[in-house]
Chain A
Amino acid sequence: MSSLPPILAKPVDIAPIWLVERVARLIFDRVMKAHPDLFERLDIYRQTRFGFSPTDLPLHFTVLPAARSLTVSRGQPPLADARIEGPLALLLGLLEGRCDADALFFSRDLSVIGDMEAMLALRNALDDSAIDLPRELGALAGPLSPLVSRVARNIRTRALEGRDATWN
């Protein structure tokens, strides 16, 4: 498990960067607005430039929380103070707090380089924020909201099969 299925990876792979970035920014803006506690818990580390590099997609996401900026790039990873690499499904599982970061690190599914203190603060802030990506995606889909949320939940369930915790 964990690698993105080709049926999902291919469209993202060939999509123009501006389109991927626009969708990612919409979700990012929505998450930041809906979870101000995330910002507060990040404290001084909101000034950190975080890099996220899915190992199953030729894309890199760079986030600077203080500037509320998100950029997407291809090729070599851009400069970041702290970077995390791993399969996209697990990175998103971490974003939602559905996977235990330490366990994924022990199993070598994830790797982290750079400012560990900042990355730890981000991990803890995200873990407390109860982000639900299918709900956030659904909210962007207007009248198609229930359908998009349901499809996204199904994808999440399959992608994280056996990896997410018993969820209460």
Chain B
Amino acid sequence: MELICPAGTPAAFREALEAGADAIYCGFRDETNARNFPGLNFSREELRQSIALARGRRVQTFVALNTFMRAGDEALWYRAADDAVALGADALILADFGLMAYVAENYPQQRLHVSVQASASNPDAVRFLVETFGAKRVVLPRVLTVQDIARLTRQIDCEVEVFAFGGLCVMAEGRCSLSSYATGKSPNMNGVCSPASHVRYRQDAADLVSELGAYTINRFGPGEASGYPTLCKGRFEVGDVEAYAFEDPVSLDVIDQIDALRAAGVSALKIEGRQRGKAYVAEVVSSLKKALGATPSERAALVARLRAMSEGQRTTTGAYDKRWR
């Protein structure tokens, strides 16, 4: 299986290369990519240099144009696709059907991957994207069990990529409006979930309080591991119970399922984290690269220290083996 690695900056891109990535995904500094955070992402020139560097090492570069085009502003997305193709991207990762159609019509030779944001999770949806736009690979949303994935891969004529490690969203990828509800901006339309401009942290006695817009998201006691200030990871009072109403602040880790995923017909494992620093990229990519070649008993030790890199310093297998409440 290929290892698909994140890069939010050229420095992180170089780290992923050195650490053994088979392919690196990245995006431009605008609303065309779902990690549109300040100081992050690539200029056209940086992408050109990075692609050349990767090609010299026989590593592929995927460009994520994985937000949904805003009516009237489609030119921004079309131009990004034009530039990514011209710069030599090995694949474009797309979520918007309109943008898929544009790429399929104008660049029929360009390899097209279906972003997780497109939320294609059943054979009919994937077949439609393959037949209509010539999609070569689908990145599956994190809603399926390993058994579901195995059933799906048998029914489609398309490579399958799944997330193996990193941040975890609620099970509505590409359709989640929680951030938009609280801040007016969303990953789907603006490339930002819980934009930093709306995030505030404050100390309240010994507690750390996180706020998003007008909402208090969480209150962490002394020494308690913290998480991202997203509504989906908020701790709320529901009835008489104070708890994580949507999901706990944890990261995904399915390294112990590598063999099962391979047997299920998965072609590539994806690491989440373009918004993370190069230290994260170096650590996670090198650990997973070793894990891919290790025996099952060796894998646990290899990835144990990755837990410290994880949100809430905890990990979960999420939907892959579906054991949540």
Contact = CB atoms under 8 A, between A and B. Distances in A.
Contact of B38 (A99, A100, A120): A120
Interface stretch (A15-23, A57-65, A110-118): A110-118
Interface residues of B, number: 43
Contacts of A56: none
Contact of B226 (A42, A101, A105, A118): A105
Interface string A15-40: 00000000000000000000000000
A90 B9 CA distance: 21
Main secondary structure of the interface of A (DSSP, over half): helix
Considering residues B14, B39, B282, B310, which has the most beta carbons from chain A within 10 angstroms of its beta carbon?
Answer: B39
B213 interface: no
B295 interface: no
A87 B8 CA distance: 26
A116 B313 contact: no
A165 B278 CA distance: 9
Given A97-B11, A128-B10, A117 B279 contact: no
B15 A168 contact: yes
A167 B15 CA distance: 8
A45 B39 contact: yes
A164 interface: yes
Contact of B39 (A111, A122, A165, A168): A122
B39 A107 contact: no
A157 B14 CA distance: 22
Contact of B12 (A43, A127, A167): A127
A113 B210 CA distance: 10
Interface stretch (B84-92, B168-176, B198-206): B198-206
A117 B225 contact: no
Most buried by B among A106, A124, A164: A106
A99 B224 CA distance: 20
Task: Using C-beta atoms within 8 Å of the partner chain, give the interface range for chain A.
Answer: 35 or more
A127 B277 contact: yes
A116 B12 CA distance: 21
Contact of B203 (A100, A111, A127): A111
Interface of A: 41-43, 45, 97-103, 105-108, 111-113, 116-125, 127-130, 164-168
Instruction: Give 6 nearest A-B pairs by CB, closest first.
Output: A124-B39, A168-B18, A121-B39, A165-B279, A121-B38, A128-B9
Interface of B: 8-12, 14-15, 18-19, 37-40, 195-197, 199-203, 208, 220, 223-227, 275-280, 282-283, 286, 308-313
26 contacts: A41-B9, A42-B39, A97-B279, A98-B279, A100-B276, A100-B277, A100-B309, A102-B276, A102-B311, A111-B203, A113-B201, A113-B202, A117-B196, A117-B197, A118-B38, A119-B196, A120-B37, A122-B39, A123-B39, A123-B277, A124-B39, A127-B12, A127-B278, A128-B10, A128-B11, A165-B283
Given A106-B313, A122-B39, 4 more contacts: A108-B223, A111-B203, A116-B196, A119-B196
